[in-house]
Amino acid sequence: MKRFLTTTLGVALLFIMEMGTAAGSVLLHRKLDESSGGSSSALAASPTIADIVRDDSDLSILLELVTIADLVEELSGPGPLTVFAPTNAAFEEVIVDVNNLEVLDIDIVTDLVKYHVAPGEILAGDISDGLLLPTLEGDSVEFIMEDDGVVTVDEQGFVATDISASNGVIHKIDGVLFPASFFQTAAPSSAAAVPASTLVAAATFAVTLVASM
């Protein structure tokens, strides 16, 4: 009888210990869920535009220019935004030395980058011939749809479209877009009076001309 009671008590204690362990496990998982917002999705949040640009090795020059212009936070915000992202090859065609971008004028870089960003989410299917899309720089980019179906933005072609981000969309393009302010004409009395934007535009044409020879 004593042995029976001892065995029964032992089984009961083992059952209680197992139940306690299970309850503790449930409580632990519940606390982990609460700390992560109640869902494992918080651990795998969708990347922002800034994240995608950072992780794409073919957009490393754009990333550096975005950093110089102090626009990383803008591209990490809630959006939505549409970014036309020139590839490294596109920038290499118009920038003499892509290894020394820090020497570029910050205001010019800021205007250049902002001209590649538009408020709202514009997908490839939203584009129509002659569409003018205002950018953060203030000017608008223009879309042209050729008879053969080819679509360009300010005469530059698309490499990839509708790259989705949590705060908008990215379209990779094969050329750099320039706002109208970069092509201002002036007749100054000295070179020192030439607007920086005009010098950049002139240098761009010079580099492009040399590269095509």
- Helix pair 60-68, 106-114: axis angle to 10 deg: 120
Q: Which long-range contacts (CB under 8 A, 24 or more apart) does 95-102 make?
A: 95/61, 95/207, 96/203, 96/207, 98/61, 101/61, 101/64, 101/65, 101/68, 102/68
Residue 125, pLDDT > 70, answer: yes
d(CA 152, CA 175): 10
Q: What is the arithmetic mean of pLDDT over 177-201?
A: 58
d(CA 168, CA 26): 38
d(CA 103, CA 105): 7
* The CATH classification of domain 49-212, taken from the options 2.30.180.10, 2.60.120.200, 3.40.50.300, 3.40.50.1400: 2.30.180.10
- pLDDT category at 122 given cuts 50, 70, 90 is very high
Q: Cβ distance 115 to 137 under 8 Å?
A: yes
pLDDT digits (tens, 9 = 90+) for 28-53: 344 334 434 444 444 457 899 999 99
pLDDT digits (tens, 9 = 90+) for 95-108: 888 888 888 889 99
d(CA 109, CA 125): 30
What's the pTM?
Answer: 0.68
Q: Supply the DSSP string of 84-149, one letter for each residue.
A: EEE-HHHHHHH-S-GGGGGGS-HHHHHHHHHTTEEES---GGG--TT-EEE-TTSSEEEEEE-TTS
| Residues of the chain above pLDDT 70, percent | 65
d(CA 190, CA 89): 34
Q: How many other CB atoms sit within 10 Å of the CB of residue 140?
A: 15
* Domain extents in the chain: 2-43, 49-212
